[in-house]
Amino acid sequence: MGIGKTIRIYLDDGSVSGIRHAEIVNWTGQAILSPRTQIKSLSAWDESKKPGIYFLFGVDEESGQDAVYIGEAENVFDRLQNHIANKDFWNEVVFFTSKDENLTKSHVKYLESRIVQVAKISGRYVVLNGNEPQLPVLPKGDRDAMEEYISNLKILLGTVGYKVLEQLAKGVSNSPAIEKTEEQDSPESSTLELLLKVKGTNAKSYLTNEGIVVLTSSQASKTIKKSLSGGYKKLREQLIENGVLTKTDTGYIFTKNQLFKSPSQAAAIIVGYAINGRHHWQTQDGLSLKNIEESNAKSI
């Protein structure tokens, strides 16, 4: 099992949408979150005048998807002032600095390069950085320290609502009979692979703590029926428009891993009509997700 973390969040004005300070207990890093409308107020925060790594979060105008720009600065506040004038897409910033003076310009350049790499691999957000920053040369001890910093940054960033650095294909098991696979490094989980085979469609997924991840090369139906809800129809059209679903001779195919909020949402998008995903997503042995959940509930 993984080691637990204690996180503290301070609300500057008592509002969950105002400026917030977040930290992991016994870690020298710290995060500040601020809406774009309150950037001026950050001038009162000494934390914003330090070297740091920052994330600008908003929506990509072309695709309508969640977007992020990742940068570094010797003085984060000064850089944000520049982005107010030159970048329109973002509505909130999250930046990370250090409580001590040990985070240098070289360190934050290293963080920027590595974090842009991780964000692109995770594929959750459109990364608006034009070029991938070059990785600076650091002594081995400093590199290891920065990799540890990234590990804690990733936890804190996800906790405050931005899972931009979290990879999708980390499955969890609802069945104690399913063993952990070698490629997984998630301490809390082992993989529960689920299959959906309905009228010519053949899809594969992993169940996760966030929902269900349909994997690359899974098939989806060519047509939709009237029973598909308006919301699901709109989501399907968006996935097609964004290239997540690509047309083939027989239907559509997923070009990347895609997270869905529920098994039924994923199944409906795939088959093109209303369907109970908990009945139709099954293991290789034909055990449905509903059967697994009910069995686990009885075993408690």
Where along the chain do its domains lie? 7-159, 193-298
Q: Which of 75-79, 174-178, 283-287, 295-299 reaches the highest mean pLDDT?
A: 75-79
Band (pLDDT 50/70/90 cuts) for residue 182 is: very low
With residue 59 as reference, give the H or E element that holds it.
Answer: strand 52-59
Q: Could you tell me which residue, 177 or 250, shows the higher pLDDT?
A: 250
The candidate with the shortest Cα–Cα distance to 122, out of 175, 185, 165, 72, is: 165
Question: 174-192 in b/e burial notation, b at 16+ Cβ within 10 A?
Answer: ebeebeeeeeeebeebebb
Mean pLDDT of 175-187: 38
Tokens of 151: 């590990």
Does the pLDDT at position 246 exceed 70? yes
Residue 220: half-sphere exposure toward Cβ, Cα within 13 Å: 27
DSSP-based helix, strand, coil % in the chain, nearest 5: 30, 25, 45
Query: What integer pLDDT is reported at residue 300 of this predicted model?
Result: 58
Q: What pLDDT sits at residue 297?
A: 80
**pTM of the full predicted structure?**
0.82
Please count the CA atoms within 13 angstroms of the CA of 130 that sit on its side-chain side: 0
When pLDDT is cut at 50, 70 and 90, the band that residue 179 belongs to is very low
Instruction: Give 196's DSSP letter.
Output: E
Q: Are 39 and 89 contacting, i.e. CB atoms less than 8 angstroms apart?
A: no
Query: What is the Cα–Cα distance from 124 to 169, expressed in whole angstroms?
Result: 11
Select from 57, 61, 64, 59 the least CA-distant residue to 92.
Answer: 57
Percent of the chain with pLDDT over 70: 91
d(CA 207, CA 229): 23
Instruction: Determine phi and psi for 159, rounding to 5 degrees.
Output: -65, -35
Residue 171, pLDDT score = 52
CA dist 284 and 270 (Å) reads 19
208 pLDDT more than 70: yes
- Region 249-260: mean pLDDT is 94
Answer yes or no: is pLDDT of 168 > 90: no
DSSP strand pairing (52-59 vs 20-24): unpaired
Q: Cα separation of 197 and 5, whole Å?
A: 40
